[in-house]
Amino acid sequence: MKSSISILSSDNRLEYINELNYTNCNYIHVDVMDGKFVPGTQFSDNEVKAINYVSNKLLDIHLMVDDPIKYINKYKEYNIKYITFHLECGKDIDRIIDKIHKFGYKAGISIKPGTNIDKIEKYLPKVDLVLVMSVEPGKGGQKFIKDTINKVKHLRDIVDKNKYDVVIEVDGGINNDTAKLVPYADMVVIGSYILNGNNRYEYQRYINKVIDK
């Protein structure tokens, strides 16, 4: 299981990334919020640019925004692996996927806890990742929603049956206990749980507790 580390809850994000650079985490997870799709704004254009400069890890961008194209256009030639947007944004989904691919990044689509997996099934041949939210998007430190377990299993069945090349990612309330509940996921986003540590060695220890299953 791979790990994408959310820096949302960190008080000093750039310093935190400098420490995470020395761990075996796979990606830095950046939750971009516009104050419309979810309450509050996070990760300004300048901060994302700074993160891109500081991180030795590829970025895993999660767009919680009404207008994904507007944000994607700002991230050209960044050190990004995935750009994920929400099905619920209500925009032209195919156009957004094509735009991400045009920039040379992997395209991800995300769904909120209340959205059924079947709503994204027709996009699975085109996307590279599905991010299943196990909390309501927009705020760190929430508890894992257990309905996610069946959703992830259902998604895994669809992906495997059709042999889609899709990474299944789970985000929200992930720790060493809840990660065991989603063994069918390929990757988990770990946020506030990692911040129980105080340095790169402790961060690594907490990461290992989650991914060593």
Domain residue ranges of the chain, discontinuous segments joined by +? 2-211
Per-residue pLDDT tens digits for 87-142:
999 889 999 999 999 999 999 999 999 999 999 999 999 999 999 999 998 766 67
Q: Residue 180 corresponds to which amino acid?
A: K
* CA quadruple 34, 167, 94, 74: dihedral, nearest 10: 40
Above 90 in pLDDT, residue 20? yes
Integer-rounded Cα Rg, in Å, for the chain is: 16
Predicted structure pTM score:
0.96
Predicted local distance difference test score (pLDDT) of residue 140 = 65
Query: CA-to-CA distance for 51 and 34, rounded, in angstroms?
Result: 18
The catalytic residues are 31, 171
Supply 16's token pair.
């935190």
Closest residue by Cα to residue 38 from 73, 82, 85? 85
DSSP-based three-state secondary structure for 188: strand
**Structurally, what CATH architecture does the domain formed by 2-211 represent?**
Alpha-Beta Barrel (3.20)
Per-residue pLDDT tens digits for 127-164:
999 999 999 987 666 799 999 999 999 999 999 999 99
Chain centroid, CA 71 distance in Å:
16
What is the enclosing helix (H) or strand (E) of 160?
A: helix 148-162
Above 90 in pLDDT, residue 4? yes
Closest residue by Cα to residue 108 from 145, 74, 64? 64
